[in-house]
Structure 1
């Protein structure tokens, strides 16, 4: 009950401040400065134009044995990036798949772009391997960390170390 009273008081104070002539005039001046739709959309961070791009990349390999020095790429595997902390915070994720070179590139949704220290809260996980790979038996679902490798022109690129799976046959 105490929290509800505090919240009502806070709402009351905000409403009083917004109704004062000085605050209302500043608000109108600010909106006048953002005269056209494009400027308002850009200021709010919405619209057709993407303000930033954050991608995670990596490679997935399979080796026939522990002593094989010639791993081959795993094509058609599902890979995901999980961001969030354990506990009450809900985890967010995005997924992609590997190409014929075993490479994946996952474009994070915009609601994850503003997370500080993505490399501390995001992990890459292999979700599914194709039936054709002998490494299917070695799949353990372990997570890999990411690191920032490039930044510029509104694009941040994070990479994970190569993911190596070893067949148990």
Structure 2
């Protein structure tokens, strides 16, 4: 009989602006043959700030046995294993997703059969407002977001005009009054 995998996903019907994720059984030692995925997402106009509070995952070269992998759109942002205060432990702390989604995958191998005391990980996440007004000109000819004044708002932005101008119906361009 092949290895048994525990597969669970968090699929929420609406975004959550903050929360906590941790390995199964945390703070108790984790089991072998675990595969668990969390699909985190927050509202458009926000990014996810992930903070790894605790990491104690059996170390292996390249974290190829047991690991916590953080992905954005299937691109690996980080892969972690080891223990805090050890030389083979990658630096953790906070990381910011490029967009409003993030995937975490916790995986343990069958080679973790021996009794071990590794407790896995604990992390928190929260939505962080994207400052659209500070983004550079995309350089594709579309120009800046606002022709005169850009005002960042939670999850979005709005444009305004200097005295003597009025905002066009496109809500981006200022025209002489």
Task: Give the alignment's TM-score, normalised by structure 2.
Answer: 0.26
Structure holding more helix per residue: 1
Indicate the structure with greater strand content.
2
Larger Rg: 1
TM-score, structure 1 as length reference: 0.27
